[in-house]
Structure 1
Amino acid sequence: MSPQSGASTGVATGTSVATAGRRAGREATRTARDRLDAERVDFCQVFAASALDAEAVLAAVREVVDAETTVVGCSATGTFTEERTMDDGVAVALVTSDSFRFDAAMATGLSENVQGAVRDAVRALPDDVDYPYQSAIALHDGLSGIGERLALAIQRRLGPHVGFAGGAASDDYQMESTPVFCDDTVADDALALVLVSGEQRAVISMDHGHEPVSGPRVVTDVSGNVVRELDGRPAFEVWKDAVRDSIAERFDVSVDSLDPGSDELYMLLGAYEFGIDQGDAYKIRWPRASVAEEGALKFAVDIPEGTVLRVMYGSRADQIESAGRAAREAVELSDSDLAGGFVYDCACREFVLQDAFSEAVDAIDDGLSAPFAGFETYGELCMQMGQLSGFHNTSTVLFAFPE
């Protein structure tokens, strides 16, 4: 799908399933550039399967785009565009624009000093950009476990009027290395931050397809991201009690017979996550592992003591509908037609959708009717103006450009 001729902003995408990193990066970027129908590429975002050589992918991308093009990206569990979904491919989106400006910076040492990393990244961005609207894109190491703290730190540095979106880099559930890319650099334990300044506001939307399947449960014993007790009982036992009947009915599995380290339990923890009640909505939190000897659950981010959680579930139909709903919301929020954009979609949704994941991508395509590239994250960032919390799990987040 090509941008409309004469539009001030255009987006085009390309993909490759080549098994060599350099070839995959080159093929995907050349396809996108041929479709862009523009002399200049202002911004590039690239998502590369974790099995590929990230340095080789990035080097090939940079050979195809302009020397001045701002490039960011990250490793990914799965990648997709409006045309296809891939388990092991590269997805690239290119942007050319007369109404948006893109400035990027990288900072490392994220897990040790979130505030310091965000400070360093923001300080490296220009402070004299003369545009009426600003927003941001943030990609970060998915193994750092600092998603919520990162969202709050970015908001403090950029201010409450700068909305932002993005995702945590992922590695096909290997939990070994989730680097991010910025210009010519690939780094672990890092943050890539893009300041998007425009004559009009970029559009950010988010949705998920989960509903509560349990009553409220209070976190009564926790250490960082390891929740030991809910309502004074072992957290893993509370989760099993809440999901036992549903898992038996939907999956024909006895949750009590599952090995704490099994792939099947890992999948079910991704399907039956927890939600934090925010009044008119729930924020999803992923218990990515059980700690059998403690009866605990290990989450992707820190969970404060006293947090009220509910076990959540969303069917395939609900997950597909929520993806389309996020796309339709983006269209409704824009004052003009959308040129295209980026999608940050949680890897956990694959546990529910499985071979229907492409149907969710199709729902985004139907709702957006514009080019997009995205990846399956280890957590999504979406902080819209006026919000106080910006890290999500099992959600679909869109960042889109009006023409």
Structure 2
Amino acid sequence: MKKAHFLLTGAAIAVALACGAAPASAQTVKIAFIDPLSGMMGSLGTNELRSWQYAADIANQQDWTGGPKLEVVGFDNNLSPQQSLTLLREAADQGIRYIVQGNGSSVGLALEDAVAKYNERNPGKELVYLNYGAIDPAMTNAKCSFWQFSLDANSDMKMEALTSYLAKNPSVKKVYLIDQDYSFGHDVARAAKEDLERKRPDIQIVGDEFHPLAKVKDFSPYASKIKASGADTVITGNWGSDLALLIKAGKDAGVTANYYTYYATTTGVPTAMGAAGAGRVKYIGYFGPNTPGNPPQADQVFDGFKKKYNDDLSMIATYTGIALLSKAFKQTHSTDPVKVAKALEGMKVQSLNGMVQMRADDHQLQQPLVITTWVKADGKVVKHDQENTGYGWRTDAVLDAASATLPTTCQMKRPE
């Protein structure tokens, strides 16, 4: 990876940190990526690390920051909250002031709390946590923090939009819920039941299943239950290998229900689906690569990433995060985390899915959402396939940010 770095001696770095923030143009700002880079979720984490690094490369080449260069450094947490806290301390000890993480709300909640406590104990050495995928609603509600910024729509926001869409479909009559057994999975199931009861009380919930996170290697028993239930619709918050293996098992078992997912675009899932998922696997999220009206740079970024890594960009929140951080550096003429965090509040940037805004009240990004279906790529409506399968995501609906905007209970405690 080509990067232009301004190198500082150890003494110069020490002086810069002691003085708060060095002149912006004199710095290389390191960003710690704390997520799985090995194990069952390792391929997903590797893709996401490259996504952050690729976006940072674009920012460096185009001087988005107005001076400082960006470098994203990977830390393998093995999807463990405890190990993530150890890595957070290691990153802080190395002088890294910006943290990114997105796999697992159990990790995200631990980091959010740890960052807030660290900052209370270490004034002048504060950390900022950019959360690109841990979407437990508590992170921007009851447990919100000034130092955490959520770049993805939380699970309640996505379910609000999804159930409004499903409520208009009379063919949806029996829904099976299957999720990972931790806080995020339980939030997905809770929101699905509450929202469907409110919008379509005639829909029958025929299954409400939880399974261990990243430990199940054979989902055939679960697929058999889904088939036996007679469900016409499956709603799942599963991600990574848990989603890929679930869909594969459903294919093998002859499950004919439509799957509505949060994460079917993530690494490994498209290959597991192949032709068997065509027309049946759906995705609710903040970006569709084939959405009409995407900003022009979307195709450029997708094509460039594919050319460099022979892989697909699966998380555009990484691009959004670099765009926000860069604009804050440029706007404040500083890389000081306190100044940058304050600048991020209410900030708008143009991302790959259009104009987005970081809501100041709770640090929850407000952005449009899409509902897409896995279909055969035709080079026109579906220009981008995924994982060289010949299949990609057809955008069925584009929902403006207001369709998923929810009130917040956040009581933000800001530094003086």
Identify the structure with the greater helix proportion: 2
Give me the TM-score of the superposition, normalised by structure 1. 0.28
Give me the TM-score of the superposition, normalised by structure 2. 0.28
Identify the structure with the greater strand proportion: 1
